[in-house]
Amino acid sequence: MKVEIEVRAFGEEDVAGTVNAYKSSEFIRVHELSEDKTLRDIQSLMAKLFKEVESGYATPEQCLGKITIRMKKENEEIEFLG
pLDDT in tens, 3-40: 999 999 888 888 899 988 888 888 999 999 888 989 99
- pTM of the predicted model as reported, rounded to 2 decimal places: 0.74
- Statement: residue 77 has pLDDT above 80: yes
Residue 20 belongs to what domain range? 2-80
Region of residue 50 (phi > 0: left; psi between -120 and 50: alpha; otherwise: beta): alpha
- Statement: residue 57 has pLDDT above 80: no
- Number of domains composing the chain: 1
Print the SS3 string covering 5-28.
EEEEEEEECCCCCCCCCEEEEEEE
pLDDT tens-digit readout, 31-55? 998 889 899 999 999 999 998 888 8
Cross-strand bridge partners of residue 75: none
